[in-house]
Amino acid sequence: MARTREFDIDQAVDRAMDLFWRRGYAETSLQDLLKELSIGSGSFYAAFGSKEELYLRSLERYTALQGSELEKIFEETAKLRPAVRLMITSLIEADLAEPTRGCLVVNASTQCGDQPAAAERVNTAIRQVESFLAGVLERAQVRGELPPEKDPRELARFLTTFVQGIRVVGRARMGRQFVEDALNTAMRALE
């Protein structure tokens, strides 16, 4: 008779995500994961298959959470420029509060380049942000908030790249003035 799983998979993925986020993929051992999740190796392999599979699930979870936050900002802030500023400012504040943490997607892109599945997840996450922002910018252009000569897809790619750069600079601890000056310059791209 098969044993009943005695832990919550979603909660375990959240805890693993937090551990990978704090320590990085390479620095997180299977033993670290077993301890963090309070499970044995048999349960781990039955639920997740491997450390890499759990890491990929953690990246998916992180991407989903970040996507929800992004959507919330643009739903609650009616105008384009204030919403973009709020989006970027929230990332700046998160990085200033916890500079060693950074963005799990950025961390994965720099730590797991030799892992095709992780690189694919990073690529997908970045494309999702680009696509979401392109839609936001297209709707803003229809409302007259973005000049007609601006290309929403190009601006979405710029903003997506800028956001990833802000996260890298946050980990480098460049400080508030540095990133706010960069933000003010980036905002002019929407004029």
Q: Which amino acid is at 180?
A: E
Please report whether residue 179 resides in a domain: yes
Please report whether residue 25 resides in a domain: no
% of the chain residues with pLDDT over 90? 84
**CA distance linking residue 100 with residue 15, whole number of Å:** 18
Please report whether residue 28 resides in a domain: no
Q: Based on the structure, what is the number of domains in the chain?
A: 1
Please report whether residue 72 resides in a domain: yes
The structure's pTM equals: 0.87
**CA distance linking residue 34 with residue 45, whole number of Å:** 10
Please report whether residue 14 resides in a domain: no
Range of the structural domain that residue 181 is part of: 58-190
In this predicted structure, the answer to whether residue 165 has a pLDDT above a threshold of 70 is yes
Please report whether residue 5 resides in a domain: no
Please report whether residue 11 resides in a domain: no
Classified as helix, coil or strand, 129 is helix
**CA distance linking residue 36 with residue 30, whole number of Å:** 10
Contact residues for 85 (Cβ-Cβ < 8 A; gap 6+): 183, 187
Q: Which residue has the higher pLDDT, 101 or 13?
A: 13
Mean predicted confidence (pLDDT) in 34-44: 93
Please report whether residue 21 resides in a domain: no
CATH number at 162 reads 1.10.357.10
Contact residues for 164 (Cβ-Cβ < 8 A; gap 6+): 103, 105, 106, 109, 126
pLDDT tens, position by position, 114-160: 889 999 999 999 999 999 999 999 999 999 999 999 999 999 999 99
